[in-house]
Structure 1
Amino acid sequence: MKKPALPKDEALRLQSLENLNILDTSADERFDRLSRLASQMFATKVTAISFIDANRQWMKSCIGPFSQEIPRDISFCAHTILDSKPFIVNNALADPRFSDNPLVTAEPNIHFYAGYPIKHANGTVLGTLSIMDDEPRGFDDYDIQCFKDIADLVQSELHAIQLTTQDQLTGLLNAHGFQVLSQNSLNMCERLNAPTSLAYFDVRGLKQINQLQSNRDGDNALMFFAELLTFGFRDSDVLARLESDKFAVLLTNTPIANTKDILDRFKERVDRYAVEKRLPYTLDYNVGVSWVDEEGDYDFAELLNIARSLAEKTKP
């Protein structure tokens, strides 16, 4: 059995998937409707809309006898996300890449597989629309075109979700996405009695950059700051652009002493970046921090309001 390789943009792909906040969510009729359409059109045993995270294939929508999640290393769909083209296996038993795959040799006995990659707006492949059957079969150009038509509808629905949770300029979460994902993280921390911190950043001088340089330079400054946040914090932290020049980070399982050290290192990185890139402006900012110690109040709105208030008090 050939295990699937990792996409070249795996880090960005996983971050984009996490920011979408779609994993481990409940059934959604807009995706189930498209699964039913594909199942009816191709009359296959299994139809699924799946997303691939670091270790598994997780089904957002599935028709037929298939587990909601399976290990990534035996997933057919994990091969599909390596390209932007459809991935077709007409007879898995005769294909050395899959002939001894447990999904082929035992239930659900996948002998035919067709998968179409589903992309994020930034071009990374997050998941697939797939159909599977327990008998080998052909799949011609007309089938592929019809399959693509349904996959395009799935992708459109995915992009609609992105518009409600993601900031289009920086790729970070927007205010709504930050609230949803942060509350999920806070609920987990509360169950574990884990410390949590929230940092609120107010980037200074954006108006002056727009006036003295250009609006494009102002947008670039915001994208630079978002990039620095991405590299300066952990993958498990929740990052967002809340509004024009306001950013926030929720640091899970992080006591306030560690947060202060992290913010000091981040400030050094920001200052160094401006010098290395020879920017005609500085990326100055105010930051306010709120936190929850063990058995504290894990209230998102209160944490955000406190951090915002502290950032505003430090304005020159």
Structure 2
Amino acid sequence: MKKPADHPIEERRLELSESLHLVYSLAEERFDRLTRLATRHFDVPIALVSLVSGDRQWFKSSQGIIASETSREVSFCGHAILREDALVINDTQTDSDFVDNPLVVENPQIRFYAGHPLRYDDIPLGTLCLIDRKPRKFSEDDRDSLETLAVCVEAELRHTQMSQPEEELLSQQMESDRRNLIDPVTQSWNQSSLNLLLAREIDYPVRTRKSFALLAIRFTTAAHEFDELDESDKQEFVRRVAQGVRSALRPHDMIARTSENQLVVFAPNCNSELSEHLVGRVFNRISDSPVKAGSRDIKVDVNAGIAVANSRTTPEHLLDIAGKALNDSVRESLPQIKYLL
């Protein structure tokens, strides 16, 4: 297996990457939208926005794969960032540099790879890449289309849409520490980081004279379908549900995974009416069509509890009220229940 070499300007590249706080950052709908488009346009099962750090590659957005990262030494994208144009490997089984790569021999069993470098100020940070489990051809028109999509990803890299509290929390952590704030399956905040964000923002109504809402969202399946899935399919199912929820929210809404089948959303500048509208959008995205997990299409049932805060409260009280609303909605067989604080 050929390992990727350091980039000629590796030190500058890593300094830029760390200053942007992109590695071990949250998944965002604006990137997921582009990787979904890539899978459809090229008819491939896997598309990634991969960011290459010193020893890891982190998937800022992923379709068709559960892993959120791999080591850099086995990465294809580590080779792709050394090029000006796309790296295309039509069949890894006939390429001596990659035939014995662990990502070829084991999951995800890469046979085809095409990755175009993603640059920020002309410095490569990662790739937009396509993966298939069977060999395939890749025409000049395909290369042009991949480059066009890569330019779209680069444009998104230059503009942040995260909320100020999220940016501040990420910027205050080293890359290795940011990893501990993020749920690896959904690439959203985890419970501990949600607690940190709530502690920062709990005075939002006093500071801004605007209300905010906490949305507790629980997703379930009929007839124990979720329990019957193997572990990788469970993770795929949860990741797809989280992507659906994320696509229904506003860019500055903050989403966290707090248990196996529960997400919590902090929605700033959100009154009672808007909170119901957001939950309705979530229902439409998740419940209207089945969610794919492995070879199965699974219908998802969603319940939501809403707590709307118009005055000072505490994180613990807010979480308790949202949780109570969620449990009441399940007990009373209602899609959602809302309480005002």
Q: TM-score, normalised by structure 1?
A: 0.52
Aligned to 1:199: none
The aligned amino acid for 2:112 is F
Distance in 2 between residues matched to 1:21 and 1:105, nearest whole Å: 32
| Mapping 1:15-54, distance limit 5 Å | 15-54=15-54
Distance in 1 between residues matched to 2:66 and 2:49, nearest whole Å: 12
Would you say 1:78 and 2:67 are equivalent positions?
Answer: no
Would you say 1:118 and 2:82 are equivalent positions?
Answer: no
Deviations 1:18-67 (A, max 9, x none): 00011212210000000000010011121100100000110010001241
Taking a change above 3 Å as real, the CA distance of residues 177 and 20 of structure 1, as seen in their structure-2 partners, is farther
| Mapping 1:154-169, distance limit 5 Å | 154-161=153-160
Taking a change above 3 Å as real, the CA distance of residues 131 and 5 of structure 1, as seen in their structure-2 partners, is same
Aligned to 2:65: 65
Aligned-partner SS, 1:57: strand
| Mapping 1:118-137, distance limit 5 Å | 118-121=118-121, 123-137=122-136
Aligned to 1:145: 144
CA contact (8 A) 1:19 1:177 kept: no
Match of 1:184 among 159, 170, 173: 173
The aligned amino acid for 2:123 is T
Aligned-partner SS, 1:118: strand
CA contact (8 A) 1:66 1:108 kept: no
| Mapping 1:214-253, distance limit 5 Å | none
Distance in 2 between residues matched to 1:131 and 1:178, nearest whole Å: 29
Aligned length: 177
Once the two structures are TM-superposed, the CA of residue 184 in structure 1 deviates from its matched residue by 3.0
The aligned amino acid for 1:184 is Q
Once the two structures are TM-superposed, the CA of residue 159 in structure 1 deviates from its matched residue by 1.4
CA contact (8 A) 2:25 2:170 kept: no
CA contact (8 A) 2:21 2:171 kept: no
Distance in 1 between residues matched to 2:13 and 2:166, nearest whole Å: 17
CA contact (8 A) 1:86 1:117 kept: yes
CA contact (8 A) 2:86 2:115 kept: yes
Aligned-partner SS, 1:107: coil
Deviations 1:217-251 (A, max 9, x none): xxxxxxxxxxxxxxxxxxxxxxxxxxxxxxxxxxx
Aligned to 2:228: none
CA contact (8 A) 2:81 2:126 kept: yes
| Mapping 1:235-314, distance limit 5 Å | none
CA contact (8 A) 2:51 2:58 kept: yes
Distance in 2 between residues matched to 1:21 and 1:183, nearest whole Å: 9
Taking a change above 3 Å as real, the CA distance of residues 16 and 132 of structure 1, as seen in their structure-2 partners, is same
Once the two structures are TM-superposed, the CA of residue 161 in structure 1 deviates from its matched residue by 3.2
The aligned amino acid for 1:96 is S
Once the two structures are TM-superposed, the CA of residue 180 in structure 1 deviates from its matched residue by 4.8
Distance in 2 between residues matched to 1:144 and 1:66, nearest whole Å: 26
Once the two structures are TM-superposed, the CA of residue 160 in structure 1 deviates from its matched residue by 1.8
| Mapping 1:85-104, distance limit 5 Å | 85-104=85-104
Residue identity over aligned pairs, in percent, reads 39
Aligned to 2:2: 2
Distance in 2 between residues matched to 1:97 and 1:147, nearest whole Å: 23
Aligned-partner SS, 2:128: strand
Q: TM-score, normalised by structure 2?
A: 0.49
Gapped regions of structure 1 (runs ≥ 5)? 166-174, 192-316
Deviations 1:157-181 (A, max 9, x none): 011239x99xxxxxxxxx9999555
Runs of 4+ aligned structure 1 residues displaced above 4 Å come to 175-182
Gapped regions of structure 2 (runs ≥ 5)? 181-341
Distance in 2 between residues matched to 1:139 and 1:64, nearest whole Å: 20
Once the two structures are TM-superposed, the CA of residue 107 in structure 1 deviates from its matched residue by 1.4
Aligned to 2:225: none
CA contact (8 A) 1:88 1:114 kept: yes
Deviations 1:78-127 (A, max 9, x none): 00011121100000011000000111112111000000000012x11001
Deviations 1:261-302 (A, max 9, x none): xxxxxxxxxxxxxxxxxxxxxxxxxxxxxxxxxxxxxxxxxx
Distance in 2 between residues matched to 1:126 and 1:55, nearest whole Å: 13
Taking a change above 3 Å as real, the CA distance of residues 96 and 12 of structure 1, as seen in their structure-2 partners, is same
Higher radius of gyration, 1 or 2: 1
Distance in 2 between residues matched to 1:129 and 1:182, nearest whole Å: 24
Taking a change above 3 Å as real, the CA distance of residues 177 and 106 of structure 1, as seen in their structure-2 partners, is closer
